Amino acid sequence: MADDFTSIDSFQSNSFFNKGFITDSRFEVIFHSFPTGLGLPTDITKESLSWNIKSVDLPSTAIGDTNNRIHQTISSRAYGDLTITFFESIDQDIKNLFYTWIENTIPWNEDNESFGQVQKYINDFSTKIEVQNLNGNGDGKKKDIFHNAFPKSVEGRKYNIESDSEIGTIAVTFGYKVHTFN
């Protein structure tokens, strides 16, 4: 039996890896639109935003609450946050885009600051984000789709005198209403 797995050909034909491996550096992120009416800067397009992505931290998916009695029940799913790290320009265009998006999403009127008040308008300040892994030819395979996604936080800038050749980045954490995988 051990002789069957001594060659790469045998390994590929006897495992589910015969389709190929995921390569973490081959991915594409698609922003479907930007919300209108939020006064977002117009110097960044959804296409240029996708080209400036360094990395994506996809969220985990888990069972949220369970009842620990004899007959356990499952009451919810728990989703983590989606975090996208962008390369940033000297003008900090990406930070400005998401900072403005966040600032204009939550009303400043104290009577309307609860998330419940804002959530009924989620279509007005959210977008759809797709993250898909690509094969060696650049063709898309499986996709993580985040419906009604919106920025929750923009990482602060970190300046470091010891790294004179490092390109600056900014991480944006997104919330979303539904996460699907296909």
Instruction: Of 140, 163, 136, give the one whose Cα is nearest residue 50.
Output: 140
Give residue-wise pLDDT tens across range 56-109: 999 987 776 666 666 666 656 667 899 999 999 888 999 999 998 988 876 655
- End-to-end Cα spacing for the chain: 36
Domain 23-181: which CATH class? mainly beta
What residue segments make up the domains of the chain, in order of their start? 23-181
Whole-structure pTM value:
0.76
